[in-house]
Chains A and B, each alone.
Chain A
Amino acid sequence: DTGVSQDPRHKITKRGQNVTFRCDPISEHNRLYWYRQTLGQGPEFLTYFQNEAQLEKSRLLSDRFSAERPKGSFSTLEIQRTEQGDSAMYLCASSLGVRMNTEAFFGQGTRLTVV
Chain B
Amino acid sequence: AQKVTQAQTEISVVEKEDVTLDCVYETRDTTYYLFWYKQPPSGELVFLIRRNSFDEQNEISGRYSWNFQKSTSSFNFTITASQVVDSAVYFCALSASNTGANNLFFGTGTRLTVIP
Contact = CB atoms under 8 A, between A and B. Distances in A.
Interface in A79-100: 89, 91, 93, 100
A107 B44 contact: yes
Interface in B85-107: 91, 93, 95, 97, 100-107
B104 A45 contact: yes
B102 A55 contact: yes
A109 B43 contact: yes
Contact of B43 (A89, A100, A104): A89
B44 A108 contact: yes
A105 interface: yes
B108 interface: yes
A62 interface: no
Contact of A43 (B42, B50, B101, B106): B106
Contact of A58 (B91, B97, B103, B107): B103
Interface of A: 3, 31, 33, 35, 40-45, 48, 50, 55-56, 58, 89, 91, 93, 100-101, 103-109, 111
